[in-house]
């Protein structure tokens, strides 16, 4: 999304700094410009008007342009990162224009340069976002029905690429990355609009292109607004096939950045990739579309960082359909893998339940493992093996966790160091990691788990760098304010001695002057304006010697200097300046040396992240009593005593979770699970899917035992959430998700379908549910393992026709007038629905419940086997009449109609109203 520019054209009489401002603004018109003025970043014109209310800043004005005051607001340099991060989180781009030279004698104007542009997809500061959530920048491209993406988390160096032949799979992969910013060729503009229309996260006032001059100060006029300028020329070419299809993707909450098609051009893309990685990384060679996307992405990041080397970027990981268990957006959402569905937070998600990592890197990786479970048996076994060893050796696990918990977020520190934004804290992070890593290496070197041994071997240390960081950086950074240790540089030590000696000298001078003047309250103080001074209270002014020079009057007295004092001051300050310059040089050099080792450190961080993720799975297995699943080559899902990991831990006090067995095999393909609402059907469905996913991410599972074959995809059709924002009714959503499942599922998938057909009338719904079951039962000649939960108890008839169908129910027991949920999955279907009992439990008034029972028994008497009746029309009328009071209300109304007097349109309206009411009665 392009921030429309509102800066006026400079006319005459501009101050030199403002001239520089306009020059800087021209290089990045789409961004909000933070312009350094000494100790502040200042924002001018509409940038100021727009940003001030967002960041709670005060608008002022110092200068005029064409007789109008120039609106201005500012933030201190020292706290600027927080402000920049907040703006970026709101979806804005921010350009930072720094003073690159210091004004000195004869040079009144500092040179300024835009040295970086921060965008939602490239922000790297420590203040930005949760460390456990990646921040991807993605570039998309497509050609002839094939779609590719490249995505990078610049703040950690993680890079992924992928190519798909189908839009839904591509779109699911993109959604799973939750990109913060998306790069498109500039003619793919329609995506921008679509995504904004679908964008639910950004309110109007936050939307970066909202140009309303919010919070405008009354006495300051907004400058004229110019036409928007895009960062790269927008192609005038007619919209291509490619852009139309990309436009079909819905992306919520991502900033869209349009780039020239040149950036995507094959040769350019290849060049910049080689420049970054020294060669075309494996997985990319010969793949035109991913190369084009990655090239566009790299060139954008280069431009924003003004040419940083980016050598912290890891070689791209290839995402593809076959490399991971397929989990589409609906599955991730319905199964609440990373967010719950009631408030969208991470609470009570599967991830929150299993994430016992102790490092930010491990947390990010575990999330990735959960969203992309494995399909390769040996890799799954390797993780299972590591989890088994660690969870059964608590001593090692505890020690390992205590070491891991000392690890800082090296990935993000490295990103800052390589992009020239590193701080002392990032160097300390590298030092800390290099100190802890050998201990982890040793601890796992002799592990009985091959995987852990392998990871131990992959911990490659950098003793040279470690030594350097250790010797140069002072051990205790907080103490004495020393950053650099003693004995690192003789020159530094002697400058420090000089400063300390000077300060001692000044203290001695204070004592001597007190003695000389007899003023006991005499103090020597220091400030930035006057340097060192002697301070005397009013009452003692008479005792001040003649050789003191008066400098300043303050409320309680006067300040003086002496030539001696100034001589020492000179010595101390010049030693101090030199020391600071030398320290900066040493630290900068250390940053450079550390950044040079980025590939090695990046690798180290990735190995440590894997160890942390495995340790987390082990803790989870151990703490929650999960078991190691047996991997089967037969087409089997056999779970004994399975539990839902989240429902289990959120049960109200006093309730215990009832474990259930589920078996799906070549002979039992389709389980039709009936039972009243609230019986626990969904829970069984979901826990089966979660157990399959946990198994394939390498985790143990919540069951007493499980034998599982590797699945290729997990599909879900759960609940009936309206997608009104996208203009689709519940039923439409339900059917399109079902359609997609039928099209994509294979006999190696697992499908859970909850109440399919609910969104329409009973007859339609039941008919559809029946047909869907038949289809899945027969698919590929083997059928797809499917759990089908339904309150259409008529579906139990299916087992008569389709041999791989098994009927189950989640049992309830009558208890006097009420029912008790047993939560137990038992064989056989239920032939009644208990809907009224559940309504009664939910607190419907007794009279209503009683009446409902009468109605129900009436319907039963009048229309046994309602569904199988051929003449449904007749049925509707008798049902509606409840069989008690002669002609029904509906029948009376229809009899009163006068077709000859009503228009065709009215007739149609009456017909749909009748249909609506009849459906209400029946569902």
CA distance 118 to 124: 8
> What is the separation, in whole angstroms, between the first and last Cα of the chain?
46
Beta carbon nearer to ligand ADP, 543 or 651:
651
Nearer to ligand ADP, 196 or 677 (CB): 677
- Minimum Å gap between C-beta 741 and ligand ADP is 19
Token pair belonging to 742:
């039928």
- Quote the least distance from Cβ 841 to ligand ADP, whole Å: 12
- Beta-sheet strand order (sheet of 786-790): 326-327, 713-717, 750-754, 786-790, 670-674, 805-815, 818-827
Q: Compute the least distance from the CB of residue 822 to ligand ADP, in Å.
A: 9
Q: Toward ligand ADP, which CB reaches closer, 170 or 834? A: 834
Q: Using the Cα atoms of residue 386, residue 387, residue 391 and residue 395 in order, give the sign of their dihedral.
A: positive
- Reported residue count of the chain is 923
- Complex with ligand ADP: residue 21 or 657, whichever CB lies closer: 657
Please state the closest distance from residue 755 (CB atom) to ligand ADP, in A. 8
Q: Looking at beta carbons only, is 171 or 683 nearer to ligand ADP?
A: 683
Q: Minimal distance in Å, beta carbon 824 to ligand ADP?
A: 8
How far apart are the C-alpha atoms of 696 and 879, rounded to whole Å?
50
Nearer to ligand ADP by Cβ, of 431 and 823: the residue is 823
* Nearer CB in complex with ligand ADP: 169/679: 679
Chain centroid, CA 294 distance in Å: 21
Q: Alpha-carbon dihedral of residues 716, 719, 724, 726, nearest 10 degrees?
A: 0
Q: What is the closest distance, in whole angstroms, from the C-beta atom of residue 723 to ligand ADP in the complex? A: 21
Contact footprint for ligand ADP (CB under 6 A): 647, 651, 657-658, 675, 677-683, 823
Q: How many Cβ atoms are within 10 Å of 479's Cβ, its own excluded?
A: 8
CB of 604 to ligand ADP, least distance (A): 44
Contact 621, 391 (CB under 8 A): yes
**Tokens standing for 83?**
């402000």
Residue number, 281 or 675, with CB nearest to ligand ADP:
675
Contact 640, 661 (CB under 8 A): yes
Give the tokens for residue 56: 């709670």
d(CA 20, CA 113): 9
- Coil, strand or helix at 875: helix
**Rounded CA gap, 291 and 813, in Å?**
62
Contact 4, 208 (CB under 8 A): no
Residue among 160 and 646 whose Cβ is closer to ligand ADP? 646
The smaller minimum CB distance to ligand ADP, of residues 482 and 647, is found at 647
| Closest distance of CB 182 from ligand ADP, Å | 36
CB 678, min distance to ligand ADP, A: 5
Q: How far is the CB of 757 from ligand ADP (least distance, A)?
A: 15
User: In the complex, what is the shortest distance from the CB of residue 687 to ligand ADP, in angstroms, rounded to a whole number?
Assistant: 8
Query: What phi and psi values does residue 560 have, to the nearest 5 degrees?
Result: -130, 160
What residue has token string 């006067």?
558
Residue with Cβ nearer ligand ADP (602 or 643): 643
Q: Which is nearer to ligand ADP, 61 or 833 (CB)?
A: 833
Of 362 and 680, nearer to ligand ADP (C-beta) is: 680
Angle value at C-alpha 565, between 564 and 570, nearest 5 degrees = 100
CB of 815 to ligand ADP, least distance (A): 17
Question: How far apart are CB 719 and ligand ADP at their closest, in Å?
Answer: 10
Give the number of other Cβ atoms within 10 Å of residue 469's Cβ.
21
Going by the DSSP 8-state scheme, the letter that residue 310 receives in this structure is: -
Of 375 and 692, nearer to ligand ADP (C-beta) is 692
Cα(461)–Cα(245) distance, integer angstroms? 47
Task: Kindly state the smallest distance separating residue 259's Cβ from ligand ADP, in Å.
Answer: 47
What token pair was written down for 164? 């798909």
> Please, which residue, 527 or 923, has the CB nearer to ligand ADP?
923
Shortest gap between Cβ of 349 and ligand ADP (angstroms)? 15
CA distances (Å), origin 838, targets 472, 810, 818, 833: 71, 14, 9, 9
Q: Which is nearer to ligand ADP, 501 or 641 (CB)?
A: 641
Q: Which among 737, 747, 750, 722 has a CA at the least distance from the CA of 168?
A: 737
**Environment class of residue 440 by beta-carbon count within 10 Å: exposed (0-12), middle (13-18) or buried (19+)?**
buried
SS3 133: coil
CA atoms of 56 and 87, how far apart (whole Å): 12
Structure tokens at 609: 């992240």
Cβ neighbours of residue 289 under 8 Å, at least 6 residues apart? 141, 142, 143, 146, 147, 148, 163
Work out how close the CB of 765 gets to ligand ADP at its nearest, in angstroms, rounded to a whole number. Answer: 16
Residue 620 CA, distance from chain mean position: 23
Backbone phi and psi for residue 840, each to the nearest 5 degrees, phi listed first = -65, -45
- Report the nearest approach of ligand ADP to the CB of residue 657 (Å): 4
- CB-wise, 350 or 434, nearer to ligand ADP? 350
Distance, CA of 765 to CA of 368 (rounded, Å): 37
Distance of alpha carbon 514 from alpha carbon 512, whole angstroms: 5
Closest approach of Cβ 776 to ligand ADP, in Å?
19
Closer residue to ligand ADP (CB): 553 or 704? 704
Q: Is 420 left (phi over 0), alpha (psi -120 to 50) or beta?
A: left
Q: Which two tokens stand for residue 128?
A: 């930005």
Residues 6+ apart with CB under 8 A from 525: 532, 533, 535, 559
How far is the C-alpha of 398 from the C-alpha of 396, rounded, in Å? Answer: 5
- The pair phi, psi for residue 98, each rounded to 5°, is -100, 155
Token pair belonging to 706: 């499980």
- β-strands 94-99, 818-827 pairing: unpaired
């Amino acid at each position: 999304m392009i921030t429309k520019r509102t800066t006026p054209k400079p006319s005459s009489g501009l101050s030199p700094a403002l001239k520089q401002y306009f020059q800087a603004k021209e290089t990045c018109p789409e961004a909000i410009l933070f312009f350094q003025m000494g100790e502040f970043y200042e924002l001018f014109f509409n940038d100021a008007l727009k940003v001030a209310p967002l960041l709670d800043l005060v608008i002022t004005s110092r200068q005029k342009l064409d007789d109008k005051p120039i609106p201005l607001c500012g933030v201190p340099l020292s706290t600027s990162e927080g402000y920049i991060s907040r703006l970026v989180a709101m979806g804005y781009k921010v350009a930072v224009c720094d003073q690159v030279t210091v004004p000195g004698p004869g040079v009144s104007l500092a040179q300024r340069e835009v040295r970086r542009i921060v965008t939602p997809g490239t922000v790297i500061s420590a203040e930005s976002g949760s460390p456990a959530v990646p921040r991807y920048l993605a570039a998309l491209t497509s050609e002839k029905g094939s779609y590719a993406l490249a995505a990078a988390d610049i703040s950690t160096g993680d890079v992924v690429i992928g190519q798909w032949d189908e839009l839904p799979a591509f779109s699911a992969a993109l959604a799973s990355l939750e990109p913060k910013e998306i790069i498109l060729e500039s003619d793919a503009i329609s995506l921008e609009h679509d995504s904004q229309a679908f964008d639910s996260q950004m309110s109007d006032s936050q939307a970066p292109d909202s140009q309303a001059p919010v919070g405008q100060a009354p006495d300051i006029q907004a400058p004229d607004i110019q036409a928007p300028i895009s960062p790269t020329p927008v192609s005038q070419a007619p919209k291509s096939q490619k852009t139309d299809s990309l436009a079909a993707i819905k992306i919520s909450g991502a900033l869209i950045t349009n780039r020239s098609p040149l950036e995507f051009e094959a040769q350019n893309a290849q060049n910049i990739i080689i420049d970054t990685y020294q060669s075309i990384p494996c997985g990319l060679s010969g793949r035109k579309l991913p190369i084009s996307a990655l090239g566009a992405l790299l060139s954008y990041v280069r431009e924003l960082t003004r040419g940083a080397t980016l050598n912290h970027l890891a070689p791209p990981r290839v995402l593809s359909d076959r490399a991971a268990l397929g989990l589409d957006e609906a599955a991730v959402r319905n199964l609440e893998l990373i967010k719950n569905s009631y408030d969208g937070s991470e609470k009570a998600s599967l991830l929150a339940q299993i994430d016992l990592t102790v490092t930010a890197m491990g947390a990010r990786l575990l999330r990735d493992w959960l969203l992309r479970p494995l399909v390769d048996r040996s890799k799954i076994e390797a993780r299972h093996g590591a989890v088994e060893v660690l969870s059964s050796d608590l001593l090692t696990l505890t020690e390992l966790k205590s070491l891991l918990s000392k690890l800082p977020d090296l990935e993000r520190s490295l990103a800052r160091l390589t992009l020239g934004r590193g701080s002392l804290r990032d160097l300390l992070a590298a030092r800390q990691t290099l100190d802890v890593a050998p201990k982890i290496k040793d601890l796992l070197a002799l592990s009985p788990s091959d995987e852990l041994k392998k990871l131990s071997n992959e911990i490659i240390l950098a003793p040279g760098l470690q030594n350097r960081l250790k010797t140069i950086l002072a051990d205790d950074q907080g103490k004495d304010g020393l950053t650099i240790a003693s004995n690192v540089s003789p020159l530094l030590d002697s400058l420090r001695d000089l400063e300390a000696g000077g300060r001692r000298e000044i203290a001695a001078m204070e004592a001597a002057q007190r003695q000389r003047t007899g003023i006991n309250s005499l103090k020597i103080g220091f400030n930035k304006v006057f340097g060192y001074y002697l301070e005397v209270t009013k009452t003692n002014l008479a005792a001040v010697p003649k050789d003191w020079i008066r400098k300043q009057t303050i409320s309680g007295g006067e300040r003086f200097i002496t030539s001696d004092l100034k001589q020492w001051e000179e010595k101390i300050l010049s030693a101090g300046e030199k020391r600071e310059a030398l320290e900066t040089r040493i630290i900068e050099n250390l940053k450079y040396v550390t950044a040079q080792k980025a590939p090695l450190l990046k690798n180290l961080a990735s190995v440590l992240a894997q160890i942390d993720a495995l340790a987390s799975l082990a803790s989870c297995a151990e703490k929650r009593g999960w078991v190691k699943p047996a991997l089967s080559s037969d087409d089997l899902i056999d779970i004994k005593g399975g539990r839902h990991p989240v429902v289990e831990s959120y049960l109200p006090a006093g309730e215990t979770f009832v474990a259930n067995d589920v078996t799906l095999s070549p002979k039992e393909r389709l389980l039709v699970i009936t039972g009243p609402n609230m019986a626990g059907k969904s829970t069984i469905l979901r826990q089966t899917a979660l157990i399959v996913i946990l198994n394939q991410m390498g985790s143990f599972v919540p069951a007493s035992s499980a034998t599982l074959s590797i699945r290729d995809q997990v599909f879900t059709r759960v609940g009936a959430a309206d997608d009104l924002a996208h203009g689709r009714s519940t039923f439409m959503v339900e059917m399109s998700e079902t359609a997609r499942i039928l099209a994509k599922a294979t006999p190696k998938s697992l499908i859970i379908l909850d109440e399919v057909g609910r969104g329409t009338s009973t007859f339609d719904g039941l008919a559809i549910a029946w047909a869907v079951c038949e289809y899945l039962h027969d698919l590929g000649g083997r059928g797809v393992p499917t759990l089908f939960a339904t309150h259409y108890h008529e579906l139990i008839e299916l087992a008569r026709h389709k041999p791989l169908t098994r009927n189950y129910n989640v049992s309830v027991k009558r208890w006097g007038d009420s029912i008790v949920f047993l939560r137990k999955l038992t064989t056989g279907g239920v032939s009644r629905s208990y809907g009224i009992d559940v309504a009664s439990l939910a607190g419907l008034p007794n009279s209503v419940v009683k009446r409902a029972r009468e109605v129900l028994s009436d319907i039963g008497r009048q229309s046994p086997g309602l569904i199988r009746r051929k003449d449904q029309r007749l049925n509707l009328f008798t049902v509606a009449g409840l069989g008690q009071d002669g002609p029904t209300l509906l029948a009376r109304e229809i009899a009163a109609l006068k077709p000859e007097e009503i228009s065709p349109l009215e007739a149609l309206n009456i017909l749909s109203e009748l249909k609506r009411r009849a459906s209400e009665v029946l569902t």
